[in-house]
Amino acid sequence: MVIRSNAEINWTARSKVNAFTLIELLVVIAIIAILAGLLLPALSRAKEQGKSAYCVNSLHQIDIAMKLYEEDHEGWLHHSTAGQPPNHGKWYMNPRMKSARRVIDDPNSPDAYWGVAYYSYVGKQVRLWRDPAAKVIDEWRWDYKFSPDFWLDGSYGINGRFFTAVQRQTSTAMRPRRRIELSAPSETIIAQDAAEHRLEADGTATTNDALGTNPGVKQNLGEWRLSGRWGLYYPEYEIFQEWFRHGKNNSLWGDGHVASIPITDSAEKYMGTIHWYTGLPR
């Protein structure tokens, strides 16, 4: 016969009183699951909002870099003697040069991304042009087999039509407009969320790479849909989503403000009297 002390008996009794029953544990677990279910979507939304805020801030910083460049170049944004920024997406000639942080020297190089001309004005911070929500940027797959990360520092497309809609020939080069010459700078896009590096934005069936469309074209971004001439290189991902990577399109406008364009198949219904890409009356 085992004789137990009063202390042991009291401890055992208290343990039984303090212990959770199975039902109580299940109730607690259910409450935690409900709270987690309520909290996780809110955290996810906050994370996405944070990425969009980062994107907006980056576009503001890019605008500052552009203004500094304009001060040094008689009011012009960077353009080649042909009057346009480059059309490629490279900061580096290849992944090895990226590892060595050797950015392309010549901003007029046919391989250069348009940001190359401005990055020295922001402390050579290449990643300023990398939207944290970007997944796939045009990788020029028909020419290269570089990893996706090589291209993601070119997450913003510059509006090529800003440079070509109005041009004049000088003795040394073809010149586009200056921003101060825009009749409606607050309604003219300079750069925006995009998978393509330079937006031609003609709005035709064959050059449909921006949010605007022209009469007779029903759907924007036709080039980048799965049936499009460039979208067909990305069968695993609907790359046109990169124009709406925040559930909207963040855009830098000619007067320096950043505003969002909602998801749309044709931005024509949102435009006023000015075409967002040409900066001219519609």
Could you read off the pLDDT of 53-109 as tens digits, one per residue?
Answer: 999 999 999 999 999 999 999 999 999 999 999 999 999 999 999 999 999 999 999
pLDDT value of residue 11: 47
Can you give the pTM of this predicted structure?
0.84
pLDDT value of residue 18: 63
Residue 239 resides in a domain: yes
Residue 158 resides in a domain: yes
Residue 98 resides in a domain: no
Residue 278 resides in a domain: no
**Rounded CA separation 136/150 (Å):** 10
Residue 30 resides in a domain: yes
pLDDT value of residue 41: 72
Residue 113 resides in a domain: no
pLDDT value of residue 17: 54
Helices marked H in the chain: 6-18, 22-72, 95-99, 148-151, 160-164
Residue-number span of the structural domain to which 43 is assigned: 23-85+129-269
Residue 32 resides in a domain: yes
Residue 249 resides in a domain: yes
List the chain residues with pLDDT less than 70.
Answer: 1-20, 39-40, 42-46
**Rounded CA separation 145/166 (Å):** 37
Helices marked H in 112-246: 148-151, 160-164
Place of tokens 């020939």: 169
Name the domain count of the chain: 1
Q: Do 219 and 263 touch, CB atoms closer than 8 A? A: no
**Rounded CA separation 89/146 (Å):** 12
Q: Do 241 and 126 touch, CB atoms closer than 8 A? A: no
Q: Hey, is 153 helix, strand or coil?
A: coil
**Rounded CA separation 171/165 (Å):** 20
pLDDT value of residue 3: 55
